[in-house]
Structure 1
Amino acid sequence: MVLSNLEPKSVFYYFEKLTQIPRESGNEKEVSDYCVNFAKERNLSVYQDEYFNVIIRKPGTKGYENLPTVIIQGHLDMVCEKNMDTEFDFDTEPLQLIIKDDLLMANGTTLGADNGVAVAYGLALLDCNDIPHPPLEVLLTTDEEVGMKGALKLDCKQLKGKYFINLDTEEEGELLVSCAGGLKASINLQKEVIDNKDEAAFKILIKGLKGGHSGMEIDKHRANSNKLMGRLLNELNDVIEYAIADIGGGLKDNAIPREAFATITLAESTIPALEKVVKNMEAVFRNEFKTSDPDIEIVLDKVENPHKVFSYNLKKNLLFLMLTLPDGIQTMSADIKDLVVSSLNFGVLVNEEDKVKLIFAIRSSVKSKIYDIRNQIKAFADFIGAEFIQTAEYPEWEYNKESKLRDLFIRTYEEMYGKKPLIKAIHAGLECGVFAEQIEGLDLISLGPDIFDVHTPKENFSISSVKRTWEYLLEALKNFKDIETFDGQ
């Protein structure tokens, strides 16, 4: 195994096992069954529901048997992203792991550290015999990356825990205490095609963008390839006549899209004008995003001339939406410096057999702003007679002023490092909001190691940070004997 020499051995052993099992959102049965078999092999109590959520229970160790149960939670699924020129099948191939100094990454694909690290921590805890801990419920949910569907469908009466530790945070030394809620939505344009009468065809590819998590990285003002393509095509529309034969961009609604393409047809005589617009727009984009996305590139290739193209009306409506729909940060907090309150990510543009679909992720820590942005998108759809669909919604996690769990983790961190951890609210969505809403009186925090560039093929994590966070988690569990003595302030 590639990771056999890394510490902690048990954590990296299970993480590598996970990288060999398909676990894209919606395809978690195999990894869920792996966890169930893991529990049965160790005679641990296990529950698996019809949505492939798993709960594995382990009694407390000697001296900890009668303490309140602690829930350790992560999600089984991962975002499967790769570059357009990367040949890789997430359903059949194991991830190709690469160690570079202190970093672990995959070759040309996402790594699945979000949230495979949490699952590995949970399995390693369940597998240990020499770590003091209270009674544990390791909760592994499904479909987190596509609207937290597993968490929303879980029968929370199966959980007995009073304290809840989510391990889906991506910066060491931080304790998350609040997060945004959100929903997914799409606009569907009815597909209308006509015969192509043009003489030539070109594929325009926008690439080289950084992308990233549409919650965690939205404040970095990175370029959105779908929006850039809308601008380029609109600029071209003012210069020459052309038709669209194919279009697409982005792979996941919760990832800022890094690449987009459009296949267009045009008269041979207008090719020089096309080349000029592409060259000019590349310069414009590189200037606008020289800090956040310095490697933006627009590639223009002549391709085989297609038989069918989008109708004029479809092209007009599509360009209207791509150009005018809002994207990125919508509102900032007036109370907390640099905190994003609401955002919209135009994550996916896909040309299907009978429709062209635009898919969005909306996030906000204020529920009314979620609905306000949703209504704006719906208004755009209604204006051009397109179909609007809301596909998923998940709740925000409100800050709890009184938390014994937070107090325990703060004191543990101070004892280990001589300073307090950073207490933060984030704009990303966490399953904590779902469980806080469903389980009365639940005390929650979220933490994790340093993970970088999640939801992109550049995803990686710090090996040493995984080790330190593991040691921090174990020390906190050891200190649970004192949990009921804290005042929760």
Structure 2
Amino acid sequence: VFEYFEKLCAVPHGSGNTKQVSDLCVSFAQELGLKWRQDEVNNVVIWKDASPGCEDAPAVILQGHIDMVCVKTEDCAKDMAKEGLDLCTDGEWVWADRTSLGGDNGIAVAMILAILADGSLPHPPLEAVFTVDEEVGLEGAFALECSDLKGRKLVNLDSEEEGVFTVSCAGGVRLDGFLPGVKAPLEGEAGYEISLEGLLGGHSGGEIHKGRASANQVMGRVLYGALERVPGLRLADIRGGRFDNVICSRNHAKVALPADRAGEFEAFIQESGAALKNEYTGCDDGITLACERTALDGALSPEATAGMLRTLLSIPQGVQAMNVDFPGLVQTSLNMGVMELKEDGLHFGVSIRSCIASQKEMMVQRLKAILELGGGSFTLRGDYPGWQYDRNSALREEVLEAYQSVCGKQGTIEATHGGLECGLFMEKLPGLDAVSFGPELHDVHSVKERLSVGSTRRVYEVTRELLKRESAARK
């Protein structure tokens, strides 16, 4: 498994940059002499006939996505669009030097490739499906043609907690918001750059409940408070985040303000930094807020600044409702993952999630109302369905039995607030039965991402055991 994982990690494969890793999967299929299909968006499907004596068993779909979220530390010079990862291990964990690892979901692809290469494993007909751009709105799964897939049992290997088997997920939609504003020359004001850094960030589905600060939301709050303290403050720049579905870990802004109020502004930033440090103790202990003088060539008008900051302060962030059927499960949330002030105004992206379709729509309506009041606008993209819990799933029971057999303990059935591709496959393949599981992965979508070696071994054996059991089934 890790031989394949290393080969995958050796080529760049961030979302939107998957051609090279897609071609690598095709080359693996060719080396193994297997039938394959690669579509125009770089999804890959590989077929393997049943092992001898198992031809009558129903086909099983094994699925994972080949794109990763690319993040790196500030001192990392690696061009992740052109270079592979530098893997590290202590024998128990695997991580990448100063970048995200992409264990989400490269380890699934590696396990599936290892299964396809295994000539000793009894198995039913296999259909390996590798999708692209899952991390930016399930784009590959949306585009995938499924008419040549015969399997009606889907094993999705895109979960991150060993022994936890996911049987339901949230649906979601991405909202691109816009608030207009054009810069004008300064009028003798002092310029400042404000830096908000040191936050943990994380996955906006799997970690939204942990109370971690969003740098985008906090910076909006800080600047609104600064405007109250220093009237006449003008926004010159604000930017943070790269992905809608990642809790933003740092934000940088620039403001112009009356030169005679500079001391008050600096004192406010110092006070706010101390307040944030206290507020986020235990979940974002590394948070820092600082400012320094800088040269500016222009800024928004005081009126545009006030309207923009008022609107940012009004936009909700984080958990909005908890699920009553699965205690501890987030039902509805939203995350402003990206913002950038451009020549025409502020552009930002929000990821909205809910396992209740009506609540997802309600959050869209709320943002629409806020933006309309603030003179802004929005567009929607990447709307995907949730995955409803199936109380009569046969595959769920088979997976639990395989896990008990391999690991000697009972698995846990859960729903997730994260977005999985299973919901889309459910729509495309009527009658599909699905379960999602995977090895222990911590801090995905961040530079602290790490993958358990021992857990990978066990989950791989559980998958093999499941396929052995499926090979004995009959149509």
TM-score normalised by length of structure 2: 0.96
Quick check: 1:404–1:483 contact (8 Å CA) kept in 2? Answer: no
State the distance in 2 between where 1:443 and 1:414 align.
20
Distance 1:368-1:93 versus aligned 2 partners, 3 A rule: same
2:48 aligns with 58
Please state if 1:293 is matched with 2:284: yes
Quick check: 2:308–2:374 contact (8 Å CA) kept in 1? Answer: no
Letter in 2 for 1:221: G
Please state if 1:156 is matched with 2:146: yes
Letter in 1 for 2:345: K
Deviations 1:77-121 (Å, cap 9, x if unpaired)?
Answer: 111122445333111122122213512111221111111111111
Please state if 1:439 is matched with 2:434: no
State the distance in 1 between where 2:94 and 2:265 align.
42
Please state if 1:407 is matched with 2:392: no
Deviations 1:293-328 (Å, cap 9, x if unpaired)?
Answer: 11111132322x121112334312320122111110
- How large is the RMSD of aligned CA atoms in angstroms? 1.5
Deviates more, 1:15-24 or 1:94-103: 94-103
State the distance in 2 between where 1:291 and 1:338 align.
19
Deviation of 1:336 after TM superposition, in Å, equals 2.6
1:8 aligns with none
Deviates more, 1:261-270 or 1:40-49: 261-270
Deviation of 1:183 after TM superposition, in Å, equals 0.3
State the distance in 2 between where 1:123 and 1:74 align.
11
Letter in 2 for 1:461: L
State the distance in 2 between where 1:84 and 1:126 align.
39
Deviates more, 1:330-339 or 1:433-442: 330-339
Q: 2:368 aligns with which of 346, 361, 378?
A: 378
Q: 2:442 aligns with which of 435, 452, 457?
A: 452
2:136 aligns with 146
1:475 aligns with 465
Quick check: 2:26–2:36 contact (8 Å CA) kept in 1? Answer: yes
Stretches of structure 1 lacking an aligned partner (at least 5 in a row): 1-10
State the distance in 2 between where 1:177 and 1:18 align.
28
SS at match of 1:310: coil
Please state if 1:89 is matched with 2:53: no
Please state if 1:260 is matched with 2:251: yes
Please state if 1:212 is matched with 2:194: no
State the distance in 2 between where 1:417 and 1:125 align.
19
2:293 aligns with 302
Distance 1:410-1:219 versus aligned 2 partners, 3 A rule: same
Letter in 2 for 1:220: K
Distance 1:131-1:470 versus aligned 2 partners, 3 A rule: same
Quick check: 2:37–2:46 contact (8 Å CA) kept in 1? Answer: yes
Quick check: 1:404–1:484 contact (8 Å CA) kept in 2? Answer: no
State the distance in 2 between where 1:300 and 1:85 align.
20
Letter in 1 for 2:129: L
State the distance in 2 between where 1:170 and 1:483 align.
28
Please state if 1:179 is matched with 2:142: no
Deviation of 1:482 after TM superposition, in Å, equals 4.3
Deviations 1:163-215 (Å, cap 9, x if unpaired)?
Answer: 10000000001111000000000111234110012343221111111111101
Letter in 1 for 2:280: F
Please state if 1:221 is matched with 2:217: no
State the distance in 2 between where 1:43 and 1:313 align.
66
State the distance in 2 between where 1:266 and 1:227 align.
21
Please state if 1:275 is matched with 2:257: no
Quick check: 1:198–1:265 contact (8 Å CA) kept in 2? Answer: no
State the distance in 1 between where 2:342 and 2:55 align.
56
Letter in 2 for 1:122: I
Deviations 1:36-56 (Å, cap 9, x if unpaired)?
Answer: 122123221111111111100
Please state if 1:463 is matched with 2:463: no
Distance 1:25-1:353 versus aligned 2 partners, 3 A rule: farther
State the distance in 2 between where 1:174 and 1:231 align.
37
Quick check: 2:15–2:133 contact (8 Å CA) kept in 1? Answer: yes
Deviates more, 1:112-121 or 1:328-337: 328-337
Q: 1:417 aligns with which of 407, 423, 433?
A: 407
TM-score normalised by length of structure 1: 0.94
State the distance in 2 between where 1:483 and 1:173 align.
24
Deviations 1:360-404 (Å, cap 9, x if unpaired)?
Answer: 000000011111001111111111221211011111001111122
Quick check: 1:189–1:314 contact (8 Å CA) kept in 2? Answer: no
1:22 aligns with 12
Q: 1:69 aligns with which of 59, 78, 83?
A: 59
Deviations 1:226-273 (Å, cap 9, x if unpaired)?
Answer: 111011111111111322221101111101111011012234332221
SS at match of 2:299: strand
State the distance in 2 between where 1:26 and 1:35 align.
16
Write out aligned runs for 1:162-201 (5 A): 162-201=152-191
SS at match of 1:156: coil
State the distance in 2 between where 1:187 and 1:19 align.
34
Deviates more, 1:289-298 or 1:96-105: 96-105
Letter in 1 for 2:263: P
Deviations 1:120-153 (Å, cap 9, x if unpaired)?
Answer: 1111111222222111111000111111111011
State the distance in 1 between where 2:63 and 2:38 align.
15
Structure 1 stretches of 4+ moved >6 Å? none
Quick check: 1:189–1:356 contact (8 Å CA) kept in 2? Answer: yes
1:105 aligns with 95
Letter in 2 for 1:320: R
Deviates more, 1:349-358 or 1:427-436: 349-358
Please state if 1:244 is matched with 2:235: yes
1:202 aligns with 192
Deviation of 1:347 after TM superposition, in Å, equals 0.9
Quick check: 2:323–2:329 contact (8 Å CA) kept in 1? Answer: yes
Q: What is the percentage of aligned positions where both structures have the same residue?
A: 40
1:3 aligns with none
Distance 1:238-1:191 versus aligned 2 partners, 3 A rule: closer
Write out aligned runs for 1:306-345 (5 A): 306-345=296-335
State the distance in 2 between where 1:379 and 1:19 align.
44
Letter in 1 for 2:399: F
State the distance in 2 between where 1:85 and 1:248 align.
19
1:358 aligns with 348
